Amino acid sequence: MGDRTPVIAGIGLSDHPIAPELDAMQHHVLAMQRALADSGIEKSEIDGYMSTGGGRGTESGVAMAEYLGIDHRWVDSTMTGGSSFEFYVQHATAAIREGYCDTVLITYGSDFLSQQGRSLGTSGFQQPGERVAGALQYEAPYGNVLVGAYAMAARRHMHEFGTTSEQLAEIAVAVRKHAQLNPNARYRDPLTIDDVVSSRMIADPLHMYDCCSITDGGGAVIVTTAERAEDLRTPPVYVLGAAGAQTHWNISQMGDFTTTAAATSGPEAFAQAGVRPEDIDTVQLYDSFTITVLLMLEDLGFCAKGDGGAFVEDGALALGGKLPLNTDGGGLSACHPGMRGIFLLIEASRQLRGEAGDAQVPDAELALACGSGGWLSCIGTVVLGKEHP
């Protein structure tokens, strides 16, 4: 067997932030076409497929595989929410190393904004008077919303550590600066800390600008062996570490509202990679809400638990700061079609390939992508590098 070190060999984005002419399947297709073109890999080479499904009859991974015409010999439709794509890298890495398949395609596509508008974060998941089964029967009568779950984590963090709304706002402001460099970002107007903390309260203590955008969009990533990537037109991005962990699913079951499963998957991914947080040049963290980023920074070990507020101050997360975050403008300002995990991998890869344009982190050699799924429930961490390990 040749060099089976897993690499990201192709990346592709569909069109965002607003693409009313595309349905979810078309987002998958467009992203796949662009990732194939990016890598130079033929579609017929794909023998592994990973997806949470498309929509309208292709809600499962295998239905989407049929739509794309992929006769895989290895498939995975693990659904951990928005972090599914970081978990896919973990699983693809293992499958490729073991020889279960050689070239894995991961696709995602969503027409969320064009089909459902901005309702995701602030509407219930149930119909009026609906009878709700399972674990949600203990939550549904009380009218919590998606933002509310994150707000309760933020409230507890503020209570235990004195974190402030201004500190959370630093995260939104840094990401907006990067969105201003991205012509495809949803929101590009200048944003200040004052703008954030004086914006409308959605669910205390989270303001409107603490909450991510809702867009259309799609992405595709091709993972293969270092051997296959050798003569491809684009430089490979090496998967140095990939790990996933879960602490709960429904928010009422979160044991410690200030600590996520990144405290497990982060150290594991770092250990696989043989690197430490201080070695990382740029982070792509799931910014569903500002608090998500703050918790991840602590849990991943970029600072001690409780010190996240101080860590993010003074533009630390903006280009030129100590740890540039979400250099594509993130979910907060650029692109969040419901599940954002794949975009973290794509932007991290662009950085390591030196293709990030005005948002390029100079000499970026190590990047970290960390996805959150559910309600801070399932956290997948991926460490990527420019050099062969």
Partner 1 sequence: MIEVLEQGGHGVPDLTDRPLPQVDNVSSTYWSGAAQGALLFQQCPACGHRQFYPRAMCTACAADTEWKQALGRGTVHTFTVIRQNMASPWDRLLPYVVAIVELEEGPRMMSNITHCDVDDVRVDMPVECYAVAVEDGLAIPFWRPVQSERTERGRSA
Tell which positions 91-120 bind partner 1, by CB under 8 A.
Answer: 119
Contact partners, residue 190, CB within 8 Å, separation at least 6: 176, 180
Q: Of 15 and 139, which has the nearer Cβ to partner 1?
A: 139
- Residue 294 contacts residue 168 (beta carbons within 8 Å): yes
110, amino acid identity: S
DSSP assignment of 250-313 equals: SGGG-S-TT--THHHHHHHHHHHHT--GGG-SEEEE--SBHHHHHHHHHHTTSS-TT-HHHHTT
Among 42, 69, 142, 183, which residue sits at the site for partner 1 (rule: CB under 8 A)?
142
Residue with tokens 């399932």: 378
Can you read off the two tokens belonging to residue 335?
Answer: 């692109």
Q: Is 138 an interacting residue with respect to partner 1 (CB under 8 A)? A: yes
Q: Of 3 and 204, which has the nearer Cβ to partner 1?
A: 204
Q: Is 33 an interacting residue with respect to partner 1 (CB under 8 A)? A: no
Among 1, 2, 42, 128, which residue sits at the site for partner 1 (rule: CB under 8 A)?
128
Interface with partner 1: number of residues (CB under 8 A) = 42
By three-state DSSP, how is residue 319 classified?
A: coil
**CB-hemisphere CA count at 13 Å for 348?**
33
Smallest separation (angstroms) from partner 1 to the CB of 298: 17
Smallest separation (angstroms) from partner 1 to the CB of 141: 5
Smallest separation (angstroms) from partner 1 to the CB of 121: 9
Q: Of 66 and 130, which has the nearer Cβ to partner 1?
A: 130
Q: How many Cβ atoms are within 10 Å of 129's Cβ, its own excluded?
A: 5
What separation in angstroms does the CA of 285 have from each of 17, 34, 99, 138, 185?
19, 24, 30, 31, 16
Tell which positions 185-214 bind partner 1, by CB under 8 A.
Answer: 200-206
Q: Is 252 an interacting residue with respect to partner 1 (CB under 8 A)? A: yes
Among 127, 183, 278, 363, which residue sits at the site for partner 1 (rule: CB under 8 A)?
127
Q: Is 245 an interacting residue with respect to partner 1 (CB under 8 A)? A: no
Q: Of 44 and 137, which has the nearer Cβ to partner 1?
A: 137
Among 44, 123, 192, 198, which residue sits at the site for partner 1 (rule: CB under 8 A)?
123
